[in-house]
Amino acid sequence: MKILKIVFKNAFRHKLRSLLTATGIAIAIIAFGLLRTVIDAYYIGIEASSDTRLITSNAVSLTFFLPISCKNKIEQIEGVSKVCQSFWFGGTYIDQKNFFAQFAVEAESFVELYPEFVLQEDQKKNFLQERNSCIVGRKLANKYGWEEGDTFRIVGTIWPGDWDFVIRGIYDGRDKATDESSMYFHWSYIDERMEQTSPGRAGRAGWFYVGLNSRDDIVRVSEEIDAMFKNSMAETKTETEKEFQQSFISMVGTVINAVRIISIVVIAIILLVLANTMIMTARERIGEYAVLKTLGFKPSHISSLIFGESLTIALFGGLLGLGLTLIIVKRFGAFLENNMGGFFPIFEISNTTLSLAILAALAVGLIAAIFPTITAVKMKISDGLRQIG
Amino acid sequence: MADAIVEVINVNKSYKRGAQKIPVLQDIDLSVPEGDFIALMGPSGSGKTTLLNLIAGIDKSDSGEVRVSGTDIAKMSESNLANWRSRHVGFIFQFYNLLPVLTAFENVELPLLLTKLNKQERKKHVEAALDIVGLGDRMRHYPNQLSGGQAQRVAIARAVIADPTLIVADEPTGDLDKDSAEEILTLLERLNKEFKKTIIMVTHDPRAAESANVIRRLDKGVLLNGAKA
């Protein structure tokens, strides 16, 4: 118990030095926590995606379309419950900075395939009935102050023209991870105008959502779809929604790996800082350790003092950093969810990240104490006493 | 004559400086009877502190025996030696060597943390020891709030708290003014006479050495003949 008291008193004997070191650790933990939270936010879309829905897209690239005629053929495959065509619209709402995801979908099958987008029955009914209607996520509606019945215009970029929409539903996510920052509207609204203005661009889908009766059919149905269109003008690539999301992530995989490495490098740097502090501290106290050894204190006691002091500073910095990370994530996360919901539908620090941050702080504390402990324990008492005075 | 509590028999000790071996103590024989107060004198580098360290079990000789209360401490492992020191030796250093983050009370309590005494028992012992050295009213003071003489008295209280067989003092008055040095020497004499503590003191101050019953001189690692103070 008394050893613990000495540990605490020693840890803050040089207040400024300990505070600066702890602040360094806190900053490292903040960086570590935030970087990991960014990575988690990227992956949260994957967690939310279903592995009982398939996505069939052009085998060449997502930027290539598939003919709508594929839909009927896919529907004929045994085990397929529903097929919904979709494409990325990519229009501008007032200004380019107002970016949010816009998807043209075949509305009837979409609302059945995506029960995680929770709509009231009358909203669903109104959405299905009106050709230029749309549904928007709660976060997106909140961001622009939209309410049911509001109208707005989007200027097409990929699909030229002015497109007016009326909001017929504001959906809530069934799960926390469900995206509430996107807009969905009728595929036919675009397609019909394309037929009139650019017939060559009509009858296209960016991809098909394919619902299955059973999860057991995933492999067979995927293979059958792709086999069906093999050697055609539009060969397909069918994968689960999870895999589809992962392929998006893999596009930025290098960046994510870089972020991961940076988060570890930050911890490694602060390890050096704390190790330096502990080496200086142990060197200063070598005489005191010699006195304690003289009095009969054993290497285990000396180790406890040095490890305890290092862990105290590391833990203090770690907890400080964690507290600040929680505050930053809460405030900054709300901003990101509202303004960059497409990329960060949920920006929350996970329990895993919290645990890893504390473990990292403790690991830094432990590792930093190893060298000075070895030095102090191996030191001959007479050598240590000679350094006093 | 009382039995010898410390017996140093044919001890040699040298240090290595690079490839060179420098002898520090040569063929030392010393016997200290129980309850004696002996002063080791000699010029700097004569080996007196090294001899004290050997007797106190904080350094080991190259050859020979160091027996304290019949136990050859030169043959003990480091761990056993640490236990032995905590029970049998009280240390007084020139620069007091108190832990600055602990109060006078806590510094004196340190050796007792290695015993099985409970908090109340430790408190009783510490208060008694601080009363003996006349610092009962300075228990909550930190070392930097004490004068040199007071700090050394705290160190003496720490040295006697575990009721050791032997007290070793390395230049206990070396960092003190004349009055404080007198106080410390008086206290050591009292510990010797009143509490029957065996004391071995290293000093190069003749006035300090006069407090001892016996003065032994070291010169270039050789122990010269003894003389009564």
pLDDT, one tens digit per residue, over B123-181 is: 999 999 999 999 999 999 999 999 999 999 999 999 999 999 899 999 999 989 999 99
Strands B166-170, B89-92: pairing is parallel
Q: In what order do the strands lie in the sheet with B20-33?
A: B20-33, B4-17, B63-68, B71-72
CATH number at residue B210: 3.40.50.300
- Partners of residue B86 in chain A, C-beta under 8 Å: 295-297
- Partners of residue B158 in chain A, C-beta under 8 Å: 295
Average pLDDT over residues A193-217: 92
- How far is the C-alpha of A292 from the C-alpha of A299, rounded, in Å? 10
Q: What are phi and psi of B209, to 5 degrees?
A: -65, -30
Residue of chain A minimizing CA distance to B87: A296
Q: What is the pLDDT of residue A303?
A: 95
With bands split at pLDDT 50, 70 and 90, how would you rate the model's confidence at B228?
Answer: very low
Instruction: Judge whether residue A259 has pLDDT over 60.
Output: yes
The answer to whether the Cβ–Cβ distance between B93 and A292 falls below 8 Å is no
- Partners of residue A13 in chain B, C-beta under 8 Å: 100-101
Q: What is the pLDDT of residue A340?
A: 64
Average pLDDT over residues A264-277: 88
Exposed / middle / buried, residue B117 (Cβ in 10 Å: 0-12, 13-18, 19+): middle
The answer to whether the Cβ–Cβ distance between B93 and A385 falls below 8 Å is yes
Q: What is the pLDDT of residue B229?
A: 42
For the ranges A101-105, A178-182, B30-34, B64-68, the lowest mean pLDDT is seen at: A178-182
Q: Which of A56, A16, A21, A9 is nearest to A316 (CA)?
A: A21
- How far is the C-alpha of B213 from the C-alpha of B43, rounded, in Å? 20
Count structural domains, chain B. 1
User: Hey, which residues does A240 pair with through a beta bridge?
Assistant: A54
With bands split at pLDDT 50, 70 and 90, how would you rate the model's confidence at A339?
Answer: low
Nearest Cβ partner for A13 among B94, B95, B101: B101
Instruction: Judge whether residue A1 has pLDDT over 80.
Output: no
Residue of chain A minimizing CA distance to B102: A6
Q: Which of A114, A146, A118, A116 is nearest to A133 (CA)?
A: A146
Of chain B, the end-to-end C-alpha distance in Å amounts to 17
- Partners of residue A298 in chain B, C-beta under 8 Å: 79, 82
CB of A298 within 8 Å of a chain B CB? The answer is yes
Around Cβ A257, how many Cβ atoms within 10 Å?
11
Nearest Cβ partner for B53 among A9, A382, A389: A382
User: Which of A381, A383, A386, A387 would you mutate first to test chain B, the one with the most B CBs within 10 A?
Assistant: A381
With bands split at pLDDT 50, 70 and 90, how would you rate the model's confidence at B204?
Answer: confident
- Partners of residue B79 in chain A, C-beta under 8 Å: 298
Q: To the nearest 10°, the Cα dihedral for A387, A389, B6, B12? A: 50
CB of A334 within 8 Å of a chain B CB? The answer is no
The answer to whether the Cβ–Cβ distance between B111 and A380 falls below 8 Å is no
- Partners of residue B99 in chain A, C-beta under 8 Å: 6, 288, 291-292
Two tokens at B69? Answer: 């209360």
Average pLDDT over residues B66-82: 90
Average pLDDT over residues A209-229: 93
Instruction: Judge whether residue A145 has pLDDT over 60.
Output: yes
CB of B229 within 8 Å of a chain A CB? The answer is no
**At how many degrees (to 10) do helices A241-251 and A253-284 cross?**
60
Q: Does an H or E element contain A232, and which?
A: none
The answer to whether the Cβ–Cβ distance between A3 and B113 falls below 8 Å is yes
- Partners of residue A2 in chain B, C-beta under 8 Å: 106, 109-110, 113
Amino acid at A48: A
With bands split at pLDDT 50, 70 and 90, how would you rate the model's confidence at A222?
Answer: very high
CB of A176 within 8 Å of a chain B CB? The answer is no
Please state the ipTM of this predicted complex.
Answer: 0.92
The answer to whether the Cβ–Cβ distance between A295 and B91 falls below 8 Å is yes
DSSP, res B2: P
- Partners of residue B101 in chain A, C-beta under 8 Å: 6, 9-10, 13
Chains A, B: CB pairs < 8 Å: 66
- How far is the C-alpha of A311 from the C-alpha of A303, rounded, in Å? 12
Residues B154 and B185: beta-carbon distance below 8 Å = no
**At how many degrees (to 10) do helices A253-284 and A299-339 cross?**
150
- How far is the C-alpha of B41 from the C-alpha of B205, rounded, in Å? 8
Mean pLDDT of chain A: 89
pLDDT tens for each residue of A42-81? 777 666 667 679 999 999 988 899 999 999 999 999 999 9
Nearest Cβ partner for B86 among A10, A296, A381: A296
* Residue A125 CB contacts under 8 Å (≥ 6 apart), including other chains: none
Exposed / middle / buried, residue A145 (Cβ in 10 Å: 0-12, 13-18, 19+): exposed
The answer to whether the Cβ–Cβ distance between A295 and B79 falls below 8 Å is no
Q: What is the pLDDT of residue A344?
A: 67
- How far is the C-alpha of B99 from the C-alpha of B118, rounded, in Å? 22
Q: Nearest C-alpha of chain B: how many angstroms from A5?
A: 9
Instruction: Judge whether residue A21 has pLDDT over 60.
Output: yes
Q: What is the pLDDT of residue A342?
A: 58
Nearest Cβ partner for A388 among B53, B97, B100: B97
CB of A288 within 8 Å of a chain B CB? The answer is yes
- How far is the C-alpha of A210 from the C-alpha of A224, rounded, in Å? 12
Around Cβ A98, how many Cβ atoms within 10 Å?
12
Q: Which of B189, B176, B126, B186 is nearest to B154 (CA)?
A: B126
DSSP, res A18: H
CB of A4 within 8 Å of a chain B CB? The answer is no
Instruction: Judge whether residue A38 has pLDDT over 90.
Output: no
Q: What is the pLDDT of residue A176?
A: 78
CB of A3 within 8 Å of a chain B CB? The answer is yes
* Residue A66 CB contacts under 8 Å (≥ 6 apart), including other chains: A56, A57, A58, A204, A205, A206, A207, A208, A234, A236
Q: Which of B229, B112, B92 is nearest to B167 (CA)?
A: B92
SS3 string of B90-159? EEECCCCCCCCCCCHHHHHHHHHHHCCCCHHHHHHHHHHHHHHCCCCCCCCCCHHHCCHHHHHHHHHHHH
What pTM was computed for the model? Answer: 0.74
Instruction: Judge whether residue A14 has pLDDT over 70.
Output: yes
Q: Give contacts of A 6-65 with B, CB under 8 A.
A: 6, 9-10, 13
Q: Which of B5, B157, B11 is nearest to B91 (CA)?
A: B157
DSSP, res A49: S
Place of tokens 């497409």: A342
With bands split at pLDDT 50, 70 and 90, how would you rate the model's confidence at A248?
Answer: low
Residue of chain B minimizing CA distance to A10: B101
**At how many degrees (to 10) do helices A299-339 and A286-294 cross?**
140
Mean pLDDT of chain B: 92
With bands split at pLDDT 50, 70 and 90, how would you rate the model's confidence at A343?
Answer: low
Residues A224 and A210: beta-carbon distance below 8 Å = no
Residue of chain B minimizing CA distance to A384: B58
Proportion of chain A above pLDDT 70, given as a percent: 94
- Domain range for B24 is 4-228
Amino acid at B113: L
Residues A83 and A273: beta-carbon distance below 8 Å = no
- Partners of residue A296 in chain B, C-beta under 8 Å: 82-87, 111, 114
Two tokens at A264? Answer: 């570890």
Average pLDDT over residues A299-322: 94
